[in-house]
Structure 1
Amino acid sequence: MHIEFLVEEYSTEVTLKIIVPKIIGDNHSFLIHNFQNKDRLLKKLPERMNAYAKFVPEDWRIVVVVDQDRDDCLELKKFLCDASSVVTQQKGNIVLHRIAVEELESWFLGDISAICAEYKKIPISLCQQKGFRNPDTIKGGTWEQLDRILKKYGYETGLQKIDFAQKVAPYMDVENNQSKSFQVFRNGLKSIIS
């Protein structure tokens, strides 16, 4: 099976290149298409799905991953489903839409151990604090929260998204992540290859 990923930014691409094989194993191929930003991905999604509807083979799956940001989750999901309906109508249920709540950084905050493996000054006890038991509920931006944590523990440059993804994603335990949106992503990915 082959999976086409459509993502909004490079840090998501970097992260998926590292964690997807941990989820689906080595028997499947995948390719990640980075649209550079969310607006561009959403704008080009209907056109891309029309193209897929014309040629996609039976053993392909399509996964769209976007950040929720401050969008209404239900409205965003509806837009993604509507944009993909041409593929679903012609090829069946081969498209998976996943929303990182509130942003991709919540997936990292769902695995404090992975962060601590690279950033040794950050205490592992952070994961026991109330706000980090379900990182998808962090208000005011998970990017901003992660940036504050890094600076608080002496990493003066704060969060450099791509560098952070390259360093932390290899340590991520895909089976033990506290982010509900990550769990939904992981489980959905497993379901489309089974």
Structure 2
Amino acid sequence: MTDSINFRKAYYVQSAPTLRECPPETGAEVAFAGRSNAGKSSAINTLTGNGKLARTSKTPGRTQMINYFFLNDDQRLVDLPGYGFAKVPLATKQKWDKHLSEYLQERQTLRGMVLLMDIRHPMQEFDTMVLNWAVEVEMPVHILLTKADKFKRGKANGTLLQVKKHLQEAQVEDLVSVQTFSSLKKEGVKELERVLNQWLALETEAEDLPTEG
């Protein structure tokens, strides 16, 4: 039985501009990625019960570094730079994309990625690009269809089914899961917690396991 993580204990540790400046590769971490207006910081703050943990802004694209929030010494949440925001210089955008790609493909302690999409505009070009990166390295992805409160429940469920169908047609449903989420109404938090608990579970050393007899 996996011990349940107390996400309310999350605390900020550092921001890294490149992969080489990230914390040492020990334990396990889960990354949060998404377009700059997908509500990524709000989702992290809702999950952790700390409205000031991840910086939120009415100006999308404020997260420009890889931000680390520790749950304990061995388990971490990682807030990746928002991508796809048009009002930054092209050179800056290309640099973000390069660092994002490097992190997703090379970080050994990365157990999975939460990919956030505004439920009103799911599966945009940049979302597909990030999904392709993850599938290439066989990394699990959990999609959060955020701002679900913007839709009535029937329409939100319809969009959820459309995304699930898309994943089935792409034959990645074994690697990619999806749910609806609302930071405003705090809906979908328990489902997200279950996924993160599973991904962040630390391996038990074989010699620590009880022997039979």
TM-score (norm 1): 0.42
Q: Which has a greater percent of strand?
A: 2
TM-score (norm 2): 0.39
Q: Which has a greater percent of helix?
A: 1
